[in-house]
């Protein structure tokens, strides 16, 4: 399976240590001033992220599974740094998706694109993009699909920079990146559908932020 999670043994020990420290930093940032009211939403998104890994899509040479880290970032913002590591840990322990030594690298490569998606959603709201239906559809495709592509690119860099056999693993990274192109299109469409549903259920989420004087 062309799963996007790295497994133990693919990266060198120094790369795993650096990834673990970076993931710890992201978790600290994501948990800064966490409020009790946010815990339930984080848990729900972590569960969605976990279950998404069970939905596999066949591609030439194997299969890939849904990521939904863009959706998590869109809904949670920087709190995605709490939900995604929790989901990845459970995936590794329950379904052997990814390894424990490389868990930190997997977290970093998943969380950063989620933050990009969350930042893109926030900017769209600040600049009033989401008031237009067509902008919601196009924005959802870009945010959801872009998060997948950034994640695949991040794993390619991890294999290239920290792999035990750089040349061979870089070639594998190219294959994995290509295999996730159809997944990026699918998740882009799913994200657009989610944004459309949210636009009907909670239209206030898509209005520009009020000015400080209002």
Determine the length of the chain.
214
- Please say if the pLDDT value at position 186 is more than 50: yes
pLDDT band at 164 (very low <50, low <70, confident <90, very high): low
Contact between 19 and 26 under an 8 Å Cβ cutoff? The reply is: no
Q: How do residues 112-130 score in pLDDT, each as one tens digit?
A: 999 999 999 999 888 888 8
Start-end of H helices in the chain: 13-30, 36-52, 69-76, 80-95, 103-126, 133-162, 166-179, 181-201
Specify the pTM. 0.88
User: Could you tell me which CATH number the domain at 13-206 has?
Assistant: 1.10.1760.20
Q: Per-residue confidence at 140, pLDDT binned at 50, 70, 90?
A: very high
For 8, phi then psi, to 5°, come to: -60, 140
d(CA 145, CA 80): 17
200's tokens: 């009907």
Per-residue pLDDT for 144 more than 80?
A: yes
Q: Which residue has the higher pLDDT, 212 or 59?
A: 59
- For the ranges 21-25, 135-139, 151-155, 168-172, the lowest mean pLDDT is seen at 168-172
The encoded tokens of residue 156 equal 């390619």
* Helix orientation angle between 80-95 and 13-30, rounded to the nearest 10 degrees: 130
Q: pLDDT tens across 33-65, in order?
A: 999 999 999 999 999 999 888 777 665 555 667
Alpha carbon distance 77, 31 (integer Å): 11
CB contact at 8 A, 63 and 2: yes
Q: Which two tokens stand for residue 100?
A: 């424990």
Q: How many CB atoms lie within 10 A of CB 209?
A: 11
């Amino acid at each position: 399976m062309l799963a996007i999670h790295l497994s133990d043994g693919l990266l060198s020990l120094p790369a795993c240590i650096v990834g673990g420290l970076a993931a710890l930093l992201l978790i600290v940032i994501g948990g800064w001033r966490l409020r009790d009211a946010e815990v339930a939403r984080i848990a729900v998104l972590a569960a969605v992220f976990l279950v998404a890994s069970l939905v596999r899509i066949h591609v030439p040479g194997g299969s890939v599974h849904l990521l939904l880290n863009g959706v998590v970032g869109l809904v949670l913002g920087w709190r995605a740094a709490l939900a995604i590591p929790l989901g990845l840990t459970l995936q590794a322990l329950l379904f052997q998706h990814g390894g424990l030594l490389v868990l930190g690298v997997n977290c970093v490569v998943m969380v950063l694109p989620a933050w990009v998606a969350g930042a893109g959603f926030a900017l769209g709201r600040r600049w009033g993009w989401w008031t237009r239906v067509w902008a919601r559809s196009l924005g959802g495709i870009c945010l959801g699909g872009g998060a997948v592509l950034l994640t695949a690119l991040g794993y390619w860099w991890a294999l290239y920079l920290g792999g035990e056999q750089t040349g061979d693993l870089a070639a594998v990274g190219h294959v994995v990146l290509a295999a996730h192109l159809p997944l990026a299109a699918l998740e882009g469409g799913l994200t657009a559908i989610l944004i459309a549903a949210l636009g009907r259920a909670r239209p206030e989420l898509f209005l520009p932020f009020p000015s400080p004087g209002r």
